[in-house]
Amino acid sequence: MARLGVSHWQGKTTFQKHLQKEVGFDCLVLDEITKFSTFGHDVINLLYKFCAHRAPMGHIHAHSEEYQSWLNSIEHKLLDIRANLKHEEAETGSTTTQSESILVKELFILAVLLYIERTSNGTSDRPTIKNTEWTCAAFDIFSRIDSCNKPFAYVVFGCEARTDQDRTIILDVLDRTIESKANGLLHPLRDVMIKTWVHDDLKATVTLTEMSAEALCSSSCLILSTSHSVKCLV
């Protein structure tokens, strides 16, 4: 996923400038970015590692001590990144609520944490203390930000939005993001979320994995095929 994001990504951003400095290029073109794709965002790389090496649910390896230790190490790394972000926010006193704010970055980390927890442990409908904490923190952020250009966060927490209030909070941010053109290709994702909520209200079985697959196919793949907006996944 990290390679996919970087290989499709173009444009001058803070991340690109950081990457240029890291690999020693004054100017990067697409092929050069792809060659050095291992320098991708830490959170995306952790998500990539999980997706690449996750044991299928029910597989004997999924219950081994070694595998559980590996999952815990990914979780701890993500939590450390989140803690560093919160420390940075406290130090800088940042109140920015736009798509590249510290709050939105934290929201994406929370989405990755919850996605890994849900899909690795098969507890898509069973709340745990940490799942509840991450979800509450995410909806608090959604209620405070102006926009969010991270489709993955909408997909993950859209699955957690069981009440009209929670759904309205997500849609308000999504609509403002579309209007601000921070990511102008979020319309398909909006349609998928609403359709999923309708199915959910009709008591259809909708899991995080199923919604993620549908949303990423119908929305994110559209983004991949029509523009260079994959940086929004980071």
Whole-number pLDDT of residue 19: 52
Nearest to 152 by CA among 97, 231, 84: 231
Whole-number pLDDT of residue 207: 55
Of the listed ranges 118-132, 145-159, 161-175, 211-225, the least confidently predicted one is: 211-225
Instruction: Output the CA–CA distances (angstroms, integers) from residue 66 to 62, 98, 121, in the order listed.
Output: 9, 40, 15
Q: Which residue has the higher pLDDT, 199 or 93?
A: 199
Whole-number pLDDT of residue 201: 83
Whole-number pLDDT of residue 44: 87
**Mean pLDDT of the region 4-13:** 47
Q: Which residue has the higher pLDDT, 140 or 196?
A: 140
Q: Angle between the 102-121 and 129-142 helix axes, to the nearest 10 degrees? A: 150
Whole-number pLDDT of residue 55: 85
Segments in the chain forming alpha helices (H): 2-7, 14-23, 30-35, 42-53, 65-92, 102-121, 129-142, 151-158, 164-180, 187-201, 208-215, 221-226
* Each residue's pLDDT tens digit, 16-53: 555 555 555 444 444 444 444 444 478 988 988 888 88
Query: How many other C-beta atoms are found inside a 10 Å radius of the C-beta of residue 145?
Result: 20
What is the residue type of 138?
A
Q: pTM of the full predicted structure?
A: 0.71
| Backbone dihedral angles phi then psi of residue 171, each to the nearest 5 degrees | -65, -35
C-alpha span between 155 and 214 (Å, rounded): 10
Of the listed ranges 11-20, 31-40, 181-190, the least confidently predicted one is: 31-40
* Each residue's pLDDT tens digit, 95-122: 656 556 889 999 999 999 999 998 887 5
* Each residue's pLDDT tens digit, 51-75: 888 888 778 888 899 999 999 999 9
Is the predicted pLDDT of residue 80 greater than 80, yes or no?
A: yes
Whole-number pLDDT of residue 81: 93
Whole-number pLDDT of residue 98: 56
Instruction: Output the CA–CA distances (angstroms, integers) from residue 59 to 64, 118, 120, in the order listed.
Output: 10, 16, 11
Is the predicted pLDDT of residue 13 greater than 80, yes or no?
A: no
Whole-number pLDDT of residue 6: 46
Of the listed ranges 17-26, 80-89, 166-175, the least confidently predicted one is: 17-26
